[in-house]
Structure 1
Amino acid sequence: MDTKKLDLNLLATLEVLLEEKNVSKAAARLHLSQPAVSTQLSRLRDLFNDQLLIPARRGMIPTAKALELRAPLRQALDHVRDTLTTHQSFEPEKADLTVMIASTDYLQSVIGLSIIEAIRKHAPGIKIGLRNLEPYRLDEQFMNGEVDLALMTQEEAPSELRTRHLYDEVYVLIGHKDHPLLSDSMSFEDYLSLKHIVVSLDGGNFLTPHDLALKELGYSRNVVLSVATFLIVPELVAKSNLVALVPKRLVNGRTDLKIVSPPMSSTGFSVGMVWHERTHNHSAHRWVRDVINQIMIA
């Protein structure tokens, strides 16, 4: 490759094309005309001696060479961006970037809106993308720039990622507000006999860590329903005689539910921020992490 022909703007265009896989969408993001992006794509093809993106029925498909380039290209451009921003004082009100945050639906529900409001109050040009957490793909997503920050249990994060503790969560037992057996003084036997809902993120599993702990002690509870998300559990419980163990923050302020401590304590979990080295020193991403940390401390 003749590096004299190298144009940083071309590489920035390639980065966006690989993300959008569509010339029109890439042009909109880059604030360029479609013919201008098509011309840049032609120059990129000459530069790398590869088609890079092949027209398909919907959008474009990256070639094997393009897929190989995606991660190192993103890292190289991130280093350039970090170098520029590190030597500038960060001004939130002038920031213009997108931050992709991965988390469970529970966390999107309990703190997602607070994060969005706090960030956009001071930095209206920052766009927040919330996406579902995929723990098994997280390392790859960080490397490819699909995710900038994850909110999750720190112990489940890949060891090479950076983390910061946010808060500790506990479980409470919920039922409809007039449930006759639900109380802080209920017996252990009554607790086991209640009709329980459990949450299995993979779907269809009736044994949670709490049930495994009960099993080791020689007990089992009456589990009648398994669902794939915490978000529908309060509504199911409010309209039936079913009960469920749920994170306390999920039901704070609910007046249509009876909320008690379970007779057998259920191990809670910690929530933290997780991020990759590529954004560690980036001033805008540092600011976003600090804002989230302040929200949780307040």
Structure 2
Amino acid sequence: MNNLRRLDLNLLVTLDVLLAEHNVTRAAQRLHLSQPSVSVHLARLREILGDPLLLPGPRGMRPTARAEALREPLREALAALESAVAPASPFDPATASQTWRVAASDYGESTVLLPALNGLRAAAPGVRLAVLELMPPRIAKQAEQGEIDLAFHVGDEASPGLRHRTLFTERYVLAGRAGHPRLKRRPTLAQFCALDHVIVSPDGGGFRGVTDDALARAGLTRRVVLSVPHFLFMMSVLATTDLVAMLPARLVHGVGALQVVEPPLAVPGYEMAMLWHERSHRDPAHRWLREYIAGAV
């Protein structure tokens, strides 16, 4: 470590060229330096490394044993350093082979990933996509540590330490099974409150949501009789029972097993956001993935 503190990168570059040329004049020409400057570099290297490194010979200079031992490790180290600081190469999805890891709820899977999947597979056939369960309290840490590349979550719950991009604005509709006798037309507010409702509770076991907050402001309550953790199960419940639910409109669009009507009260919607860490913001592959998903939804 003491020797490293005394070295500067220019000295190592000079040594690499000297070990290739065995001649101060030719090394100076390759380095675009004067011959005296290269000689000064060589003297400094000899002092730091405690070895003559290059000795006069019949045809130029002859490397010492220490210099010969340094040749390959030095070349590899400089090549690795040059590669590390080189400008990032453009991303080519057609030849890419990396694995992306994204975190999403079942809602995010259905409304963000599913619409993007076929096109993503066609554009980047060699990549792999791992979908992880969304754990909102851990998103920021997972992104910081590189455990996930992207997360899809409600915009107003996004960590302020993450980059984010709004993908779309969602609204709520009232849904029940196709042919539900109470959903042939838009129910009145009183009829809405009398229906048996099911709710998705991501934290588990909750019986209150944004619809209940909106009702409370009007001095009303509804009958929530079932709480489930996932939208997929909720939609199966709706299709096979007389329960109803307030659902995100994108989730039920075109689902023939369900009847959808406008609710009798205004319930605030939300923004769906794509989240990522600053560490990957400028990466060409990551930028391509973000732009592709944003375009797909």
Q: TM-score, normalised by structure 1?
A: 0.69
> 1:1-298 counterparts in 2 under 5 A?
83-84=85-86, 86-296=87-297
The one-letter code sitting in structure 2 at the alignment partner of 1:207 is: R
Measured in 1, the distance between the counterparts of 2:83 and 2:237 equals 48
Distance 2:117 2:3 in 1: 42
Highest CA radius of gyration, 1 or 2? 2
Deviation at 1:99, TM superposition (A): 0.9
Q: Which moved more, 1:165-174 or 1:107-116?
A: 107-116
Structure 1 residue 113 displacement after superposition: 2.5
Larger mean Cα displacement after TM superposition, 191-200 or 120-129 = 120-129
Cα drift, residue 184 of structure 1: 4.0
**C-alpha deviation, 1:3, in angstroms:** 9.7
Contact map agreement 1:101 1:130 (CA 8 A) in 2 = yes
Residues 140-161 of structure 1: per-residue CA shift (max 9 Å, x gap) = 1012111111111122111121
Greater CA drift, 286-295 or 150-159: 150-159
Pair 202,2 (structure 1): closer, same or farther in 2 beyond 3 Å:
farther
The offset of 1:2, in angstroms, is: 9.1
Instruction: Give the whole-Å Cα distance in 2 for the aligned partners of 1:291 and 1:162.
Output: 17
**Structure 1 residues 281 and 179 mapped into 2: Cα distance closer, same or farther (>3 Å)?**
same
Q: How many Å separate the matches in 1 of 2:83 and 2:158?
A: 26
Helix, strand or coil at the partner of 1:220: coil
Tell me the SS of whatever aligns to 1:245: strand
Task: Compute the displacement of 1:164 (Å).
Answer: 0.9
Q: Deviations over 1:198-248 (max 9, x none)?
A: 111111111112212212321100111111111111211111111011111
Q: Which runs of 5+ in 2 are unaligned?
A: 5-80
1:112-163, Cα deviation, whole Å (9 max, x unpaired):
2332322221111211111111111111101211111111112211112111
Give the secondary-structure state (helix, strand or coil) at the position aligned to 1:93: coil
Which one-letter code corresponds to 1:244 in the other structure? Answer: A
Q: CA 1:217–1:99 in structure 2 vs 1: closer, same or farther (change >3 Å)? A: same
User: What secondary structure does 2:107 align onto?
Assistant: helix
Cα deviation for residue 187 of structure 1 reads 1.1
Query: In structure 2, do the counterparts of structure 1 residues 111 and 91 end up closer, same or farther at CA, with 3 Å as the change threshold?
Result: same
Identity across matched positions, percent: 38
> For 1:231-283, what per-residue CA distance to the aligned partner results, in whole angstroms no more than 9, with x for missing partners?
11121111111101111111111112111010012211111111101110100
Q: CA deviation at 1:284?
A: 0.4
Question: CA 1:285–1:193 in structure 2 vs 1: closer, same or farther (change >3 Å)?
Answer: same
What SS does the aligned partner of 1:145 have?
coil
Letter in 1 for 2:178: K
- Count of residues in Structure 1 that have an aligned counterpart in Structure 2: 221
For residues 83 and 147 of structure 2, the distance between their equivalents in structure 1, rounded to whole angstroms, comes to 17
Q: TM-score, normalised by structure 2?
A: 0.70
In 1, the alpha carbon distance for the partners of 2:83 and 2:184 equals: 56
What CA distance in whole angstroms lies between the structure 2 residues aligned with 1:82 and 1:247? 46
What is the rounded CA distance, in whole Å, between the counterparts of 1:80 and 1:277 in structure 2? 24
In structure 2, do the counterparts of structure 1 residues 225 and 87 end up closer, same or farther at CA, with 3 Å as the change threshold?
closer
Q: 1:221 to 1:2 in 2, by over 3 A?
A: farther
Q: In structure 1, what is the Cα distance between the partners aligned to 2:83 and 2:117?
A: 24
Indicate the SS of the match to 2:293.
helix
The two structures, once aligned, show a CA RMSD in angstroms of 2.2
Q: Distance in 1 between matches of 2:83 and 2:143?
A: 16
Specify the SS of the correspondent of 2:101: strand
Q: Tell whether the 8 Å contact from 2:214 to 2:266 is kept in structure 1 after alignment.
A: no
Q: Note closer, same or farther for the CA distance 1:122–1:205 as it changes in structure 2 (3 Å cut).
A: same
